[in-house]
Structure 1
Amino acid sequence: MDIVKHLEEDHKRIIKIVNQLPAALLKAKQSLETLLTVSNDLEKELTRHEKIEDDLLFPALREKISKQTLQTLTDEHAESKKARDLFIATIAEVKNLGENKPPEKIKEMSNHGYKLMRILSTHLTREDQLLFPMAKSILSNELSEELEKQSLSF
């Protein structure tokens, strides 16, 4: 397998998790367990995925694609991380309220969840349609396979 194929497979797993968020958010008033599981799974997948891109793929492409493109993707990773942290913090706040969950707190948590979904949708689409095709055409098979091997330690 090569690095781009690996990252495309990551996207499939991430999208599968993101698609679980709306139902988990709807159930959140009764139980946060599903939402906690989904958000933790998403955090784990995205953290590893973004590290592979930031530490391996982006440096390998740095000389071949525009600084602006790489900066946009890096900024989107930071925006995604900030949105995830805020969402997870809000889930923790709601959980700490116990049975007495004010509707406005549930709404705030849901808003953070839906915002995260929008950010990820935009970012994953940009990578699928722009970054990955460029990487496939730029990286040699040997380099792509070497990056894939390195990514296994992440």
Structure 2
Amino acid sequence: MIRRMGKPPQRGVDYRLRPGAYAILPLKGRFLVTAQLTPQVDVQLPGGGIDPGESPLQALHREVLEEVGWRIASPRRLGAFRRFVYMPEYDLWAEKMCSIYVARPVRQIADPVEPDHVTMVLSATECAQSLGNDGDRMMFLRYLGSRNYS
């Protein structure tokens, strides 16, 4: 069973399953993340939805490039969680099935192309305090374990 994070599903709402792939990106003792600026600042692990016909790893590479402008290597799956949310950009109630990977950032090749996203490089402490959803934070803290990156 995959752990639910955040609010429980609302009665009477028809949720559409929305699988996604997201990355923890350690970079020289710090971490690459993305911040969605509107409607309010929301710090997130880079990643997003898996398109039809796309594998989770293909989606991970595409989404990281779109959101932070970096190529990645050696992704390995850390775990998963699910969230029930409204996605205003799609006018969609979604059951987001979030697979979390750890990958090595190789190099930045572009600026983010995702609208209203900026790339941030944060310490472990800043990242843990800033991530905007409980699931991202839980998986990030699981990754850190007993490591000290602050």
TM-score, with length taken from structure 1: 0.26
Which has more radius of gyration? 1
Task: For CA contacts below 8 A with separation 6 or more, give which structure has more relative contact order.
Answer: 1
Structure with greater proportional helix content: 1
Structure with greater proportional strand content: 2
TM-score, with length taken from structure 2: 0.27
